[in-house]
Amino acid sequence: MNSVVWTGRGLDELRAVLLAAAPAEHGAFLLCAAGSSPNGTRLIIHETHVPGQDDRLVQEPGELAFAPPFVARVVKRARSTGSAVLQVHTHPFTDSPEFSPIDDAGEQHTIPFVYSRVPRGPHGTIVLGKTGYAGRLYRADGKFVPIDRLMQLDSSYTHIYLHGVADTRSMEQFDRNVRAIGRQGQAILATLRVGVVGVGGIGSIVAQQLTHLGIGSLLLIDDDVIDQTNLNRVVGATLGDVGRPKVAVMKASVSQMGAGTTKVSTECGSVLDEDVARRLLATDFVFICTDNHASRAVLNQMAHQYRVPMIDIGVQIDAESGRLRAITGRVQMLAPGLACLLCSGVLDSSQIRVELMTPDQRKADPYVVGEPVPQPAVISINGTVASLAVTMFLSATVGFPSDARRLIYRATDSALRRLPTEPAPGCIICSDQGAAGRGDNADWQLVWRARR
């Protein structure tokens, strides 16, 4: 799957500028940071170059040609910044445009020129209509693959444009959803590819709720197996599942409850392994349901560096000898303009260090004392916090009326509190001075580097 991502309303603004030239075509060049995964490429827009009047040789209905010096300046800039290049132009009289023979012929010259100056790629082209688009990414050998979706990400929403995809499923199964979010909202959910990292006590409930909502596809990631202590909280797990991978158990459960409406893929592995984590670059949204700081650190950086919106979920129950002292749940969205887990003070660097050690390294380190102690877990608390997270997801994707992006739940006094979401200035992860939006151009393996 290949995606192009704008922050804010960058795509809507670009479309408005270019379509203002109608009936003539208009165009621009976009410079992007790239993120590669086994399932495709994610391009994050960081510069837009709209040509002035002197930068266009031809501009009329049905044809657009840029002046060579303008193209050369853009390509030089791409080379100096290590950026991929997307050429965009309009077909202003259609909603759902397709590439014309003139477009095909022009790209036979433009794409090889760009690759000759910026070999890394991938480079591509997009044609925008009044509402829809068509797009393709070229390899250096001239072969291309389609761009599957254009995305706009903000702190308040995630808007996705698809090419040539329609939801053909019956709406009857989701009738009660539709009565709340409308047919358009339900259709949006049907297009989404959502990752759930950690399918234990919280992640299994999240996956269950997403399936009942009619999500298009789920990617479930977990490297653990079911044991008897999981049976009090992992939805769908039975005594007969003890010893089986959690992702396999959850896939079977989701497939049954969704009656085939949600496609499910699994990865029995850890996001501390780069190949596993990169699979998330082909998703539209991710739920972080892990129980350790190291994996949270990886996902926190991915969310901002690759512009993958995520929601982090945590539950802490303080108890001693069966006596409860405090019960706290936390839900926090990670997206452009929002604080990350580092500048929010959620991540514990000393704990990350310990979790990245091998067993032998822990034994040899005099500062690591004892073994991790299993934490209390109660399904009702997990369910409450998981539901808050899924509701936040609905707000960010289909406009559900709830704009909180960071919540703290205290069960002992039945309090739900909204916290500020402003990022810390100069944060190494979520600021423009840090890793945000840099894709593979940044050293995103801070955690993996420490692991080595």
Domains of the chain: 3-162 (3.40.140.10), 172-451 (3.40.50.720)
Residue 368 is predicted with a pLDDT of 46
325/246: higher pLDDT: 246
Alpha-carbon gap, residue 251 to 389, rounded angstroms: 21
pLDDT of the residue at 265: 96
Contact 331, 347 (CB under 8 A): no
- Dist CA 110 CA 87 (whole Å): 9
- Inform me whether the pLDDT recorded for 168 exceeds 60: no
Q: Which two tokens stand for residue 163?
A: 């090419």
CA gap 68, 72 in Å, rounded: 6
User: What b-and-e string marks burial along 223-255, b requiring 16 or more CB atoms within 10 Å of the CB?
Assistant: bebbeeebeebbbbbeeebeeebbbbbbbebbb
Q: Are 105 and 63 in contact (CB under 8 A)?
A: no
Summarised one tens digit per residue, pLDDT across range 323-358 is 788 899 999 999 999 999 999 988 887 777 776 765
Residue 450 pLDDT greater than 50, yes or no: no
Asked if 367 and 326 count as a contact pair (C-beta separation under 8 A), the reply is no
Average the pLDDT over 388-411 and give the result: 94
- Tens of pLDDT, residue by residue over 429-440, are 999 888 899 998
Average pLDDT over residues 435-451: 68
Residue 369, pLDDT above cutoff 90: no
Residue spans of beta strands (DSSP E) within 354-426 = 406-410, 415-418
Pairing outcome for strands 149-153 and 84-90: unpaired
User: What is the band of 359 on the pLDDT scale with cuts at 50, 70, 90?
Assistant: low
Under the banding of pLDDT at 50, 70 and 90, the label for residue 270 is very high
pLDDT in tens, 36-78: 888 899 999 999 999 999 999 989 998 899 999 999 999 999 9
| Banded model confidence at residue 379, pLDDT cuts 50, 70, 90 | very high
The answer to whether the beta carbons of residues 417 and 408 sit under 8 Å apart is yes
The residue among 198, 15, 193, 4 whose CA lies nearest residue 89 is 15
**Count of residues making up the chain:** 452
Distance in angstroms (rounded) separating the CA atoms of residues 402 and 30: 33
Give the mean model confidence (pLDDT) for residues 98-109. 91
CB hemisphere CA count around 26 (13 angstroms): 18
> Helix, strand, coil proportions of the chain in percent (round to 5)?
35, 25, 40
Return the exposure string of 267-303: e unless at least 16 CB atoms fall within 10 Å of the residue's CB, then b.
Answer: bebbbbeeebbbbbbbbbbbbbbbbbbbbbbbbbbbb
What does the block give as tokens for 369?
């004392």
Question: Which has the closest alpha carbon to 25: 70, 92, 87, 71?
Answer: 92
Beta bridge partners of 65: 58
Mean pLDDT score of the chain: 89
Q: Quickly list DSSP for 170-207.
A: -SGGGHHHHHHHHHHHHHHHHH-EEEEE--STTHHHHH
**How far is residue 368 CA from its own chain's centroid?**
35
CB of 97 within 8 A of CB of 129?
Answer: yes
Tokens 């409308």 appear where?
Answer: 182
Q: How confident is residue 360, by pLDDT bands cut at 50, 70 and 90? A: low
CA distances from 178 to 174, 187, 393 (A): 6, 9, 16
The CA distance from 31 to 74, in Å, is 8
DSSP symbols for 123-175: EEEEEE-SS-EEEEEE-TTS-EEE--EEEEE-SS-EEEEESS----S-SGGGH
